[in-house]
Amino acid sequence: MGKTERIVLWVVVGLLATWLVVGTAMVAGELAAINDVLRGRESAGGSGAASDPAPWESEPTPVGSWGAGNTGNTGTWARVAGVQVLSGTLTMTVTVRSSGAGDLLYEPPVVVDETGRTYPPTGESLEAARYAFLDLVTRGQATAELDFAGAPAAGVSAVLVFNPGQQPDDLLAPRLEVPLPVMEAPAAGGTPAP
């Protein structure tokens, strides 16, 4: 092997080694950024903290702030708006913001009133909510309309429970409880005001 061939060989090996070091550093940085997002922290190159909720018209209910013993996945917030009772069906608009990886629809959500009675969701609204909640993965926020069979009586407080059979600190399917506004007696049009 000649002197020129050895120089070319060492230049190629040097370039490959440099490319390998730079590529490893870039991949390590990307993995650290992904890890920060999954943990809900601000990444070094990000423009804002992933764990801060969006400004809400009313205060969201973060996991851990409602009910006894809720701890853990504090990267998920939920808000319920537009609650209506129409012909024995409770309909509500649910907006969820999440920086975690948990699946809020791992188990069907239920509404539980203060007497302990539960109201299951309708199959059609649950299916639509599953598709709407896919936006949590790409945008970090999703809004869906959920219908429940039956409704609490006027003046009875209730709570919407996501993943009722799970623990609040479960990373894959956290239990999330969102208090609902107390329903008032039906107005003249037959629909109670929240």
Report pLDDT for 63.
39
Dump pLDDT digits (tens) for 78-87.
Answer: 788 778 887 7
pLDDT digits (tens, 9 = 90+) for 107-146: 999 999 888 899 999 989 999 998 888 887 778 888 889 9
The DSSP call for residue 2 is -
pLDDT value of position 192: 47
For 70-103, the pLDDT digits (tens) are 334 456 777 887 788 877 788 888 888 876 667 8
- Tell the burial category of 94 from Cβ atoms under 10 Å away from its Cβ (0-12, 13-18, 19+): buried
Q: Which two tokens stand for residue 67?
A: 């009910």
Over range 174-192, report the average pLDDT: 68
Which residues, including other chains, have CB under 8 Å from residue 62's CB and lie 6 or more apart? 53, 74, 76, 77
How would you label 38-49 residue by residue, b for 16+ Cβ within 10 Å and e otherwise?
Answer: eebeebeeeeee
Report the pLDDT value the prediction gives residue 65, as an integer from 0 to 100: 35
pLDDT higher at 21 or 1: 21
Residue span(s) of the chain under CATH 2.60.40 come to 61-180
pLDDT of 62 > 60? The answer is no
Q: How confident is the model at residue 151 (pLDDT cuts 50, 70, 90)?
A: confident
Per-residue confidence (pLDDT) for residue 7, from 0 to 100: 93
Q: What is the pLDDT of residue 193?
A: 45
Instruction: Return the HEC string of 50-83.
Output: CCCCCCCCCCCEECCCCCCCCCCCCCEEEEEEEE
In the block, tokens 């490319």 appear at: 19
Q: What angle do CA 79, 84, 90 make, to 5 degrees?
A: 90
pLDDT tens-digit profile of 17-49?
Answer: 999 999 998 888 888 878 777 766 543 444 444
* pTM, full prediction: 0.59
- Residue 40 has what pLDDT? 60
Domain 61-180 sits in CATH at 2.60.40
